[in-house]
A = this chain, B = another copy of it.
Amino acid sequence: MLLRRVISVSSFKNKISYMKYLLLVVFIPTVIFSQSTQQQPPHAIAIAVHGGAGSLKKLNLTPEQEKAYKDTLAIALQTGYNLLKQGKTSVDAVEASVNVLENCTLFNAGRGAVLTHNGTIEMDAAIMNGRNSKAGAIAQVKTIKNPVSAARKVMDSSKFVLMAGKGAEEFAALQGLQIVDTSYFFTPYRRVQLQKALLGDTAVLDHSDTTGMIAPADITGNPNDKFGTVGCVAIDKYGNLAAATSTGGIVNKEYGRIGDSPLIGCGTYANNKTCAVSCTGRGEDFIRHVVAYDISSLMQYRIINLHDAANYVIKEKLTKAGGRGGCIAIDKNGHIEMPFNTEGMFRGYINTKGQMVVSIY
């Protein structure tokens, strides 16, 4: 009797062991598999760029000119997208895409930066990592070939977020960034443009650029139309968001004016919980209304989606306040929004399905 009970208990124990084993065999790989997919999901990648917003119809672009702008935006998109496909981070991608636009004279950033009242160059840029809220920005720099890369160095290799002027240039040089002679930026077109702006000429359209192309957005006589800036937002395969913006500011600017581009929360912001945003427009309006962070906080605190938040902030709130411009924004699902309240915005994206679209109006 005792023996039978022992056997019975033993066989019961065996059954439990067997079931445990079965569970382990079935369950552990499931857990490992699901953990591995959770830790490194092949998150759908996506990217968007802008090249400034404004009264673009006034530019009267020829089909060739339109093509040149669109082609450059496409190259910028493809450059960042290729990095994302290779498994690089969204921070790498937005920096590389903005570099393409900075190296092109068509856009008001880097080489194409507009001239200040004193005939100098003063460039601003920012970058932000949505994964850890780290950010870097640089303002009033005159000799750094790629300001957005300097902003990245501020983020990655300093304890600061924003550096300006000569100190910022010293830092960039110490970090090994390419420093160029200011003549690199002084394209014939920009000199003529400044001369006309100084004369108060209302039509500063000029085709004497070295590329034969006019520069966008800052071309009309109305200072309200001079919204040249470039920017990029992206999501990488790890599900991390990033944003970057770079600008030469406004033509004929004075008194060391800094706009919204290098200001975290105003012209540039990224947060994995909500979205990544890069703005372009009349910088002062974007500063006063903390536009980039406003979109993020609406999503976080009102629990609304990116479409509703970005369109409300740009098309209703900013418009009602007299502000002009637009933004590109991407959320954690790779959904992209590009609202603007101006005639047009140079913009494009490659969505999570790999489809590229580039537009101006």
A interface list, Cβ under 8 A from B:
133-135, 139-140, 158-168, 170-171, 253-259, 263-266, 269, 283-284, 287-290, 293-294, 297-298, 301-302, 321
Closest Cβ of chain B: how far from A9's Cβ, in Å?
Answer: 48
Residues of B within 8 A of A163 (CB): 255-258
- State A269–B265 Cα separation when bound (angstroms): 12
Residues of B within 8 A of A321 (CB): 133
Closest Cβ of chain B: how far from A357's Cβ, in Å?
Answer: 31
Residue contact A255 to B160, C-beta cutoff 8 Å: yes
Residue contact A165 to B162, C-beta cutoff 8 Å: no
Residue contact B162 to A287, C-beta cutoff 8 Å: yes
Residue contact B161 to A288, C-beta cutoff 8 Å: yes
- State A162–B167 Cα separation when bound (angstroms): 18
30 A–B contact pairs at CB < 8 A? Answer: A133-B321, A134-B288, A139-B164, A140-B164, A159-B284, A160-B253, A161-B284, A161-B287, A161-B288, A162-B258, A163-B256, A165-B165, A167-B256, A168-B256, A171-B255, A171-B256, A263-B263, A264-B287, A264-B290, A265-B287, A265-B290, A265-B293, A290-B293, A293-B293, A293-B294, A293-B297, A294-B297, A297-B298, A297-B301, A301-B301
Residue contact B302 to A290, C-beta cutoff 8 Å: no
- State A257–B160 Cα separation when bound (angstroms): 7
Residue contact A258 to B164, C-beta cutoff 8 Å: yes
Residues of B within 8 A of A171 (CB): 254-256
- Out of B133, B158, B164, B167, name the residue touching A288 (CB < 8 Å): B133
- State A263–B283 Cα separation when bound (angstroms): 13
Residues of B within 8 A of A263 (CB): 162, 263-266
Closest to A158 in B: B255
Residue contact B165 to A164, C-beta cutoff 8 Å: yes
14 further A-B pairs in the complex, CB-CB below 8 A; given A158-B255, A162-B257: A133-B288, A133-B321, A140-B164, A159-B284, A160-B253, A160-B284, A162-B287, A163-B257, A168-B256, A170-B255, A263-B266, A265-B293, A294-B297, A297-B298
Closest Cβ of chain B: how far from A293's Cβ, in Å?
Answer: 4
Residue contact B288 to A255, C-beta cutoff 8 Å: no
Residues of B within 8 A of A166 (CB): 256
Residue contact A167 to B254, C-beta cutoff 8 Å: yes
- State A258–B162 Cα separation when bound (angstroms): 5
Closest to A134 in B: B288
Residues of B within 8 A of A290 (CB): 264-265, 269, 290, 293
Closest Cβ of chain B: how far from A323's Cβ, in Å?
Answer: 10
Residues of B within 8 A of A160 (CB): 253, 255, 257, 284
- State A293–B171 Cα separation when bound (angstroms): 30
Residue contact A167 to B255, C-beta cutoff 8 Å: yes
- State A184–B133 Cα separation when bound (angstroms): 39
Closest to A264 in B: B287
Residues of B within 8 A of A134 (CB): 288
- Out of B133, B140, B288, B297, name the residue touching A165 (CB < 8 Å): B140
Residues of B within 8 A of A284 (CB): 159-161
Q: Which of A253, A265, A283, A302 has the most CB of B within 10 A?
A: A265
Residues of B within 8 A of A256 (CB): 163-168, 171
Residues of B within 8 A of A259 (CB): 162
Residues of B within 8 A of A266 (CB): 263-265
